[in-house]
Structure 1
Amino acid sequence: MRARLPLLLLLAGTAVLYLWRLGDSGWANAYYSAAAQAGAESWHAWFFGATDPAGGITVDKTPAATWVMGLSARLFGVDAWSVLVPQALMGVASVSLLYATVKRTAGAAAGLVAGAVLALTPVAVLMFRFNNPDALMVLLLVAGAYCTVRATEKASARWLALAGVAVGFAFLAKMLQAFLVLPAFGLVYLAFAPAPVLRKLWHLGAALGAVVVAGGWWVLVVELLPAGSRPYIGGSQENSVLELALGYNGLGRLTGEEIGSVGGGGWGSGGWARLLGDEMGGQIAWLLPTALVLLAAGWWAGRAAERVGLALWGGWLVVTAVVFSFMNGIIHAYYTVALAPAIGALIGIGAVALWRRRQEPVAAAALSGALAVTALQCYLLLLDWSTALAALVLVLGLIAAVGLFLASTVPSAVVVPVAVVAALLGPGAYSVATAATPHSGAIPSAGPAVTNRPGGLVLMGPGGTVNNVGGGGGMGGLLHAPTPGAGLVGLLRDSEGFTWAAAAVGSNNAAGYQLGSGEPVLAVGGFNGTDPAPTLEEFQEMVRSGLIHYFLGGALMPAETGSDASRRIAEWVADTFTATTVDGVDVYDLTAGAQR
């Protein structure tokens, strides 16, 4: 029990950090909360990941994350806690699995360091307290890494197949991003598993088959079903999961040619400095340079088993970081949570390997240099938030760096605690500030709240970047869900006998009205309003058939690519029916007869 006490304390602290005042974020990302609500009411909507119980259109991802939230909402009721707690528990599980994985190659101390770094990475705190699919993807990928390590130890085809299953299900959480770890997993097994090459290639082929089966069964079911038997596939232009996976959520993210995307590209300049810049630095860059230093130094100092871990996590980090740095399509800062487990593992393995050889001048110098890099990086990231904390971290870090350089003469009981505090104080403080800040909308960002401005809560990121995380009208309702007033809620609830109480352009608009009223609301055009679902002709037929009670007007985004069906629908409704204003929203009663 005493041996497990540090791990239990780490997991308990992680749980407190991830669950503390979790309900303050409300619905967080209303887009996925609406899908969870739909899944709690309808198994049909749950299976396909539809955004409304009637199954009009799906979220623009595969639905594994909404499956978990939908089951939680079905069991415990539809509220903020039932939607958000699953992600917090996934975070605790990810820390535990990372510890177990690193421990197998580098020992318990390295596992504890790795788990602590993951738990206190600001973007991890953000995403494990939020309801985007990233939390489930990270958990499954760490599980895949654990299985790969187990497989490599004894050339186990069974464990390698389980790694493939984990990555396949991660695909069902966030599509092709899950596959970025596959090169590292495959090469590590090929290089280090104790078996003939031909046998290892056979095992890898079987594991790849496991990836395809675990990730492809749902895709196959959806592709084989007639379109009329399921919801429209959100994010696609041709009602196809394969198109979504390979296009909008696949190669389009690399090339910038995502048909149906609002904005036509321009998602920031790519390059080696992207992960260290203003937008992403405060999310993930605190210990990123340190991880790279310890990857190289740890390889020099490490034993054979430690090198297996360094190769696995180093490959994970390098491939994912390069893709994130140079992709030209849609990329958001919170994607970098996928780097956090690898950073934590590399720091844990590398630091322990060097510490074991601290009597050697080269190892002592490498440890000292790594901590000095950490102190300088954290100092730069903290300057725009707290100059006092930045100075404290820098001073502590430099003192600890000197102590590590003189590790052969300075007592471990003195230098180790100071070094740990110096390394984790910056990201830890930023993480606590992140947990203390409610987050909502489609593009959350880790960091402290510094002010409130009209339109929502504003966060200040490193470099002075401003991140709007609340409010109603950002980007014409594209990124934030409205909160309907009592009059509008009462109107929507008086829609018995209709398949949809209302329709609104854009998934976030529809989600806000649906969550506020508890009634199904059709998201015309999907997330961006650029999906051809429904077409104008299909919508007109829905109105004639009495399926939709109201149409709720609002700001529209220009459709630079993709379908303009939602714009045509909104214009037809405005030309055909008379609007009344309820709680500031234009409401068209689609059963009240034509205006002209």
Structure 2
Amino acid sequence: MSRTEAAALVVVTIAAGLTYVWNIDERTMARYYSSVVRSMSESWNAFLFGAVDPLSTVTVDKIPGAFWPQALSARIFGFEPWAVVLPQVLFATVTVLVLHRAVRRHAGPAAAMLAAIAMASMPVAAALARTQWPDTLLTLLLVLAADATLRAVGTGRLRTLLLAGVWVGLGVHAKMLAALVVLPALGAAYLLAAPGPLRRRVTHVGVAGVVTILVSAAWIVLVRLTPAGDRPYIDATDTNNALDMVLGYNGIDRFSGGESRSAGTHPFRTGLFATVFGSLATQVMWLFPLALAGAVIGFVNRRRAPRTDAGRAGVVLWSLWFVVVAGVFGVGQINHVCYAIILAPPTAALAGIGLAALIRKYRAGSGQAWLLPVAVAVTTAWAVLLARRSPSFLPWVVPVTVAAGAVALVALVAGLTATRIPDALRRFGPLPAVPAVFLVPVAWTVAAAVPVNSGLPENPAAGPPFAEWRYLDVPARERDQLLVMAREYSRPENLARTFAEPRTELTEPDRRLLHYAGARRGSSRYVLAALTSARAGTFIAATGLPVLPLGGFTGRTPFPTQRQLQQLVVDGAVRFVLVPAVPSGSAEVDAGLAWVAATCVVVPPEAYGVGVPPPNAPARESLYDCAVRRSAP
């Protein structure tokens, strides 16, 4: 690597890292995930199994691999926003470097540098790097797997391909089955281009697949071998079986519209174009025309290359990665647009390959030199089209992009038509094309450093708040009502209030309620019990105190059962229970809450200093004291 290339890579990496880390504070913390990380940082049992509460009662609703680095950081540096999010920032930044290395292996330094710039310019990456979501680590692990695969393609060494299998297996621990979508791309690239006879290549891919399965299954096997009494209950299951949580709630349900829908969210429209070019487009698709050009040029230019051609293998890997993920998104249930991050690496790689190839053709003065100005025109027009979906967001970006695109086109056309100094113009003419195509995604990425432009921590999204709601898969009337609500939320005074709210601090009523219960807790193991892990997590994230989650994340997990809750009350492990006005959806949990309401005594809100609610105000939840009347089951 030359000094110029190294210096440019350092600049891109530092710029990306500063964008990711800027303005990190409590506003970037998700309450639910924060409770998981805080509990894991205070208890090794909770750490190992990913428990929501420090007493390891119920797990998070996924494999906890992505939260292990966050919990370790919090254990070392303390439970502070910067300490929790620091691993995320590092993962996102390292992803840029690894993608550069992977593309450089097969497409050269120019394509690698442009791919790194493209990856650093992905708005969704900036929005996610500032939160606790597992997608950031997943993306790094999959890019590492791609890098190892491309290295194995060049050497034919099994151990290098096995490393790719390990990375994918670790990706399963970060976000379960989502990591497996890259396997067709990795396997196809190796089978196509690795040296050696076909039988040997097939054997290598098979062995690597076995390693992927073994690494992927490690946590599930650990849970299976641990007696149920020595670990937390597995959330999102009726059977307390980790395999059901991975394959059912986080697997089949994502395609069948089952109960996996995240609390408080609506799914987006399905279909390839409605998803990839609709709800997800402004997160990751700004450079799609260049990515498409990279795929087409890569296949056309290398159609006569030897089977082992590394350049074609790279194009196969990135193209198939994009196609498979886009296809999965087209038929699966998408509740959060930040899922688009998994499309970022192949899009960035192909865009870098395409732009570098077009610049080479332009400078060579070949008959295909006109492809560069055409690609620049189409890419800038596509960026303007996407930006105009939210005309009030960064309103300057459209006219500036149009101007930059015009300057680039003039320079490119002049380089092709000038007769006196064609060599100079042909050499430097492509330079204005780079800012023209990257201007809008860079602007959106930098804007995501402002919390209001990166979504709530519970729903990360780059760009104007609620812009993606136009693609919700709900009846038109309901969607119109939601859009009216979004416009109300988007008023400056409402946004300022919403995004100024610390995510790991209690509201005054909750603070008073917890103080009341804590002061009277006595020898109870839990300060109180609350429906859903998210509600219990509100108290846990703010204080680290043990709060019993009822019903898991959605409230529909049948734990604890009525008998188990009764026994906890009778044994004195639970004294106070928050009973909501709305049923949970789990017959077992609702039966337990009904028993509490019938057996225990409600605590008047004024007793803990909240005051009597207005007569017309809807009842949300009531605090019950089970020490006053503790009837036998």
Same fold (TM over 0.5): yes
Alignment match of 1:445 (pick from 455, 461, 478): 461
TM-score (norm 2): 0.85
Q: Distance in 1 between matches of 2:441 and 2:341?
A: 14
* 1:400 and 2:405 aligned: no
Say if 2:348 is the partner of 1:340: no
Q: Residue 520 in 1 paired to residue 520 in 2?
A: no
Distance in 2 between residues matched to 1:288 and 1:12, nearest whole Å: 25
Matches of 1:316 and 1:372, distance apart in 2: 26
**1:24 CA displacement:** 4.9
Unaligned runs of 5+ in 2: 417-421, 472-482, 611-620
Q: Superposition pairs for residues 78-477 of structure 1, below 5 Å?
A: 78-256=79-257, 258-259=258-259, 261=261, 267-276=267-276, 278-301=278-301, 304-327=309-332, 329-358=333-362, 359-360=364-365, 363-383=368-388, 384=390, 385-401=393-409, 403-404=411-412, 407-408=415-416, 409=422, 411=425, 414-438=428-452, 439-448=455-464, 458-460=465-467, 466=486
Residue of structure 2 aligned with 1:19, choices 21, 30, 35: 21
Report the CA distance shift for 1:321/1:388 in structure 2 as closer, same or farther (over 3 A): same
SS at match of 2:369: helix
Larger Rg: 2
Cα distance in structure 1, aligned partners of 2:37 and 2:398: 41
- 1:235–1:531 contact (8 Å) kept in structure 2: yes
1:392-442 Cα deviation digits (max 9, x unpaired): 213322442454455554625653332111111111111122111254343
Quick one: structure 1 residues 487 and 208, their matched pair in 2 at CA, closer, same or farther if it must change by over 3 Å? same
Match of 1:574 in 2: 597
In structure 2, the CA distance between the partners of 1:3 and 1:522, relative to structure 1 (3 Å rule), is: same
Letter of the 2:144 counterpart: A
DSSP 3-state at the match of 1:195: coil
1:186 positional shift: 0.2
1:489 offset after TM fit, Å? 4.1
Quote the Cα distance in structure 2 between the aligned partners of 1:442 and 1:147. 33
Deviations 1:199-250 (A, max 9, x none): 1111111101110111111111112222222111112221111111111111
- 2:44 alignment counterpart: 43
Partner of 1:451: none
**3-state SS of paired residue (2:624):** strand
Q: Measured at CA, do residues 555 and 353 of structure 1 come closer, stay the same or move farther in structure 2, by a change above 3 Å?
A: farther
| Cα separation, 2, equivalents of 1:108 and 1:65 | 32
- In 1, Cα distance between equivalents of 2:298 and 2:403: 25
SS of 1:176 mapped into structure 2: helix
| Residues 352 and 550 of structure 1: CA distance in aligned 2, closer, same or farther (over 3 Å) | same
Deviations 1:8-62 (A, max 9, x none): 11111111001111115242x2211111101111000000001111111111111
* SS of equivalent to 2:402: helix
Q: Name the CA shift for 1:285/1:335 in 2 (closer, same or farther; >3 Å).
A: same
Of 349-358 and 205-214, deviating more is 349-358
Indicate the larger mover: 505-514 or 388-397.
388-397
CA separation in 2, counterparts of 1:459 and 1:583? 36
Q: Per the alignment, in what secondary structure is the counterpart of residue 447 of structure 1?
A: coil
Which residue identity is paired with 2:19?
L
| Counterparts of 1:76 and 1:263, CA distance in 2 | 31
- Alpha-carbon distance in 1 for matches of 2:373, 2:340: 27
Other-structure match for 2:513? 488
Distance 1:557 1:401, change over 3 A: farther
Q: CA deviation at 1:3?
A: 3.9
- The one-letter code sitting in structure 2 at the alignment partner of 1:545 is D
Q: Look up the equivalent residue of 1:8 and give its one-letter code.
A: V
When structure 1 is superposed on structure 2, of 429-438 and 308-317 the one drifting more is 429-438
Q: Per the alignment, in what secondary structure is the counterpart of residue 593 of structure 1?
A: coil
Residues of 1 paired with 2:265 and 2:23: CA distance? Answer: 36
Q: How far apart, in 2, do the equivalents of 1:447 and 1:147 lie?
A: 33
| Cα distance in structure 1, aligned partners of 2:168 and 2:542 | 36
CA distance in 1, matches of 2:185, 2:301: 21
**Cα-Cα RMSD:** 2.8
**C-alpha separation in 2, matches of 1:62 and 1:19:** 26
Supply the AA of the counterpart residue of 2:516: L
Change (3 A) 1:264 1:126: closer
**Partner Cα distance (1:231, 1:85) in 2:** 27
Percent same amino acid among aligned pairs? Answer: 33
Structure 1: stretches of 5+ with no match in the other structure: 449-457, 475-479
CA distance in 2 between counterparts of 1:55 and 1:246 reads: 23
